[in-house]
Amino acid sequence: MQSPQFAVAPVDRSLEAQLRAKIDSKTKPLGALGRLEDLALQIGLVRGTLSPRLSNPQIVVFAGDHGAAKAGVSAYPQDVTWQMVENFLSGGAAINVFARANGIGLTVVDAGVAHDFGKRANLYDAKIAPGTANYLEGPAMTAEQRDAAMARGAQIVRDLVAEGCDAIGFGEMGIGNTAAASLITHCLTGASLTACVGRGTGLDDVGLARKRDLLARALDRFDGARNCPLTVLAQFSGFEIAMMAGAMLAAAQAKLVVLVDGFICSAAALVVARLAPAFLDYAVFCHASAEPGHQVQMEALEAKPLVDLGMRLGEGTGAAVAWPLLRAACAFVNEMASFESAGVSEKSA
For residue 338, what is the DSSP state?
B
Exposed e or buried b per residue across 65-104, where buried means at least 16 C-beta atoms within 10 angstroms of its C-beta: bbbbbbbebbbbebebbbebbebbbeeebbbbebbeebeb
In contact, 131 and 113? CB cutoff 8 Å = yes
Pairwise CA distance, residues 252 & 256, whole Å: 6
In contact, 47 and 166? CB cutoff 8 Å = yes
3-state SS, residue 64: strand
Residues β-bridged to residue 125: 110
Give the up-direction half-sphere exposure of residue 139: CA atoms within 13 A in the CB hemisphere.
16
Among residues 302, 315, 335, 346, the one annotated as catalytic is: 315
Residue 300: CB atoms within 10 A of its CB come to 17
Q: Are strands 57-64 and 105-112 parallel, antiparallel or unpaired?
A: parallel
144 is catalytic: no
Task: Write out the catalytic residue numbers.
Answer: 315
